[in-house]
């Protein structure tokens, strides 16, 4: 046994949602090898005294754009279309691989700090993002978000973004025994055409990989699609086989009841991003109805530029509160459901439900410890309620992926945070923001 957590309050997230007080969890070769109220006979190589701590599965951020960490706080309080076209796209145009890698490492460090052990990321610069993930030790399903506005001469074999997907897939898919998965991504119905939908779904199905799509995020996007095709985004994408692969549909704010039934039938996972949807004024997704329709619903932060952090604990609390406020029923979406969305539902969305999301013998040791000895977490009548309604990512004391500690006591053993910040300061920030208005100027308008 490599590591033993002793005297932990263990939130297993198993089918019974068992919480084990004063329990012992052992890790061997990156897997959970021991789970008991009693100490093992075997002497472990290392003992972590978890007295006063909660041990739970790491969180899954099922929709994010890590390289956008560099854009955090740059353009707040705009509507989505103006935010994207006037502020975000022009800056993204200046980014390069080197900048994307540094920004991704920053985003990974923030994720680990807040107890996230696996992410589903959609962005460009796929090779640089994969390198950052590989070095850091975090798990990731990575996709090259692909747009296509003019499809006159489109061919998968010549279109640069599709070729980037192909190259990244060959180089990085299944890296480190599946720690990295490379997936296809239709950026959104409104930024693409049917030729891309069909080409990418064919790629995903033929290569047994996933599909990641922004779906019905804003009312205008949803309604324009109905005007254009006479069908909702979920329906028109279905006609072109986009849901044939294991798929993640981010946002789903404006889904209609028929969309939910259809997506449930196709096994599509919705990723609810409540804070980004609120911040961009996009609306409130109807999580309760999606779950009732049989959809798997996970949680995501979306990019840090529309959030403005990667703390999934905030998403869990916000999604529970919004569901109650929307339904005028406080029994809607209880804490246990929010915690499931942040763990096992996320793992399911990533196709990783057999490897993580629960504390179970044989699963990967993707584990986090939270310090429950702080004033705001005392007394603790119900651990699951406390995790959702009172705790935050700042309470995470340790993050482990496959038995390896990636964050503990303010330190990141696999990420040289000082070097990352220097790279951002000396290279990436000047590259992207050299002509940005100074703070004093921007405050004037
Ligand atoms: Zn997004």
Q: Which of 74, 57, 58, 129 is nearest to 307 (CA)?
A: 74
Q: Which of 5, 51, 11 is nearest to 316 (CA)?
A: 11
Q: Decide if 76 is inside a domain.
A: yes
Bridge-partner residues for 61, per DSSP? 119
**pLDDT at residue 258 above 90?**
yes
Give the pairing of strands 367-371 and 396-401: antiparallel
Residue 68 CA to ligand 1 centre (angstroms): 10
Residues in the chain: 445
Report percent pLDDT > 70 for the chain. Answer: 98
| pLDDT of 436 | 73
Residue 142 CA to ligand 1 centre (angstroms): 13
Which residues lie below 8 Å from residue 236, measured CB to CB, with a gap of 6+? 189, 225, 229
Q: Decide if 1 is inside a domain.
A: no
| pLDDT of 437 | 65
CA distance 165 to 203: 10
Q: Decide if 401 is inside a domain.
A: no
Q: Decide if 54 is inside a domain.
A: no
Q: Decide if 326 is inside a domain.
A: yes
| pLDDT of 84 | 87
Residues 315, 316, 320, 323, Cα dihedral to 10°: 40
| pLDDT of 82 | 87
Bridge-partner residues for 6, per DSSP? 49
Radius of gyration of the chain (CA): 21
CA distance 179 to 164: 20
| pLDDT of 80 | 81
Task: Summarize pLDDT for 71-83 with one digit per residue, the tens.
Answer: 999 989 988 888 8
Q: Decide if 233 is inside a domain.
A: yes
**Beta carbons of 112 and 136 less than 8 angstroms apart:** yes
**Beta carbons of 84 and 65 less than 8 angstroms apart:** no
Q: Decide if 102 is inside a domain.
A: yes
Residue 52 CA to ligand 1 centre (angstroms): 37
**Beta carbons of 51 and 373 less than 8 angstroms apart:** no
Q: How many domains does the chain have?
A: 1
CA distance 309 to 107: 9
Residue 194 CA to ligand 1 centre (angstroms): 20
**pLDDT at residue 441 above 60?**
no
**pLDDT at residue 440 above 60?**
no
Residue 302 CA to ligand 1 centre (angstroms): 5
Pair of tokens at residue 219: 């009312």
Task: Summarize pLDDT for 162-179 with one digit per residue, the tens.
Answer: 999 999 999 999 999 999
Judge residue 425's burial from the number of C-beta atoms within 10 Å of its C-beta, 0-12 exposed, 13-18 middle, 19 or more buried.
exposed
Residue 123 CA to ligand 1 centre (angstroms): 9
CA distance 436 to 434: 6
| pLDDT of 443 | 43
| pLDDT of 438 | 58
Other CB atoms within a 10 A radius of the CB of residue 91 amount to 18
Task: Give the pLDDT band of residue 439 (cuts 50, 70, 90).
Answer: low
Q: Decide if 196 is inside a domain.
A: yes
Residue 25 CA to ligand 1 centre (angstroms): 36
**pLDDT at residue 244 above 80?**
yes
CA distance 164 to 189: 20
Residue 63 CA to ligand 1 centre (angstroms): 6
The CATH number that applies at residue 277 is 3.20.20.140
Residue 239 CA to ligand 1 centre (angstroms): 23
Q: Which residues surround ligand 1, an ion (CB under 5 A)?
A: 302
Residue whose token pair is 């089918």: 15
CA distance 368 to 13: 13
Provide mean pLDDT across the span 309-330. Answer: 97
Residue 337 CA to ligand 1 centre (angstroms): 23
**pLDDT at residue 273 above 90?**
yes
The overall average pLDDT reported for the chain is 96
Task: Summarize pLDDT for 27-82 with one digit per residue, the tens.
Answer: 999 999 999 999 999 999 999 999 999 999 999 999 999 999 999 999 899 888 88
| pLDDT of 81 | 83
Provide mean pLDDT across the span 303-332. Answer: 97
Structural domain for 133, as ranges: 60-349
Task: Summarize pLDDT for 343-371 with one digit per residue, the tens.
Answer: 999 999 999 999 999 999 999 999 999 99
Residue 417 CA to ligand 1 centre (angstroms): 25
CA distance 386 to 54: 11
At residue 263's C-alpha, the angle toward residues 261 and 264, to 5°, is: 65
Residue 145 CA to ligand 1 centre (angstroms): 9
**Beta carbons of 251 and 214 less than 8 angstroms apart:** yes
**pLDDT at residue 442 above 50?**
no
């Amino acid at each position: 046994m490599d590591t033993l957590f002793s005297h932990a309050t263990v939130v297993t997230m198993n089918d019974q949602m068992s919480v084990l007080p004063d329990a012992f969890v052992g890790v061997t070769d990156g897997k959970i090898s021991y789970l008991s109220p009693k100490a093992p006979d075997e002497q472990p190589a290392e003992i972590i005294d978890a007295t006063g701590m909660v041990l739970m599965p790491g969180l899954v951020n099922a929709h994010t754009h890590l390289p956008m960490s560099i854009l955090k706080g740059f353009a707040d309080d705009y509507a989505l279309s103006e935010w994207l076209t006037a502020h975000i796209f022009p800056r993204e145009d200046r980014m390069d691989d080197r900048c994307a890698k540094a920004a991704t490492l920053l985003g990974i460090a923030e994720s680990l700090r807040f107890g996230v052990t696996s992410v589903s990321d959609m962005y460009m610069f796929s090779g640089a993002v994969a390198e950052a993930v590989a070095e850091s030790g975090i798990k990731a399903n990575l996709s090259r978000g692909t747009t296509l506005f003019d499809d006159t001469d489109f061919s998968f074999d010549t279109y640069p973004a599709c070729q980037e997907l192909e190259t990244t897939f060959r180089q990085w898919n299944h890296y480190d025994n599946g720690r990295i998965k490379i997936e296809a991504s239709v950026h959104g119905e409104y930024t693409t055409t049917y030729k891309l939908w069909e080409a990418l779904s064919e790629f995903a199905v033929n290569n047994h990989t996933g599909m990641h799509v922004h779906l019905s995020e804003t009312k205008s996007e949803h309604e324009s699609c109905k005007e254009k095709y006479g069908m909702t985004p979920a329906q028109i994408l279905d006609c072109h086989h986009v849901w044939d692969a294991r798929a993640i549909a981010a946002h789903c704010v404006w889904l209609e009841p028929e969309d939910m039934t259809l997506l449930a039938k196709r096994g599509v996972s919705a990723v609810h991003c409540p804070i980004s949807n609120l911040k961009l004024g996009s609306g409130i997704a109807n999580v309760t109805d999606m779950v009732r329709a049989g959809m798997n619903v996970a949680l995501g932060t979306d990019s840090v530029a529309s959030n403005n952090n990667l703390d999934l604990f905030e998403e869990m609390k916000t999604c529970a509160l919004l569901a109650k406020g929307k339904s005028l029923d406080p029994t809607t979406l209880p804490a246990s459901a929010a915690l499931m969305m942040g763990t096992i539902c996320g793992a399911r969305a990533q196709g990783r439900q057999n490897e993580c999301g629960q504390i179970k013998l044989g699963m990967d040791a993707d584990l986090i410890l939270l310090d429950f000895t702080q004033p705001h977490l005392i007394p603790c009548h119900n651990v699951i309620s406390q995790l959702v309604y009172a705790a935050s990512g700042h309470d995470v004391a340790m993050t482990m992926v496959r038995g390896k500690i990636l964050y503990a006591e303010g330190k990141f053993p696999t990420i040289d945070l000082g070097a990352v910040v220097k790279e951002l300061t000396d290279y990436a920030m000047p590259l992207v923001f050299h002509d940005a208005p100074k703070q004093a100027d921007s405050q004037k308008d």
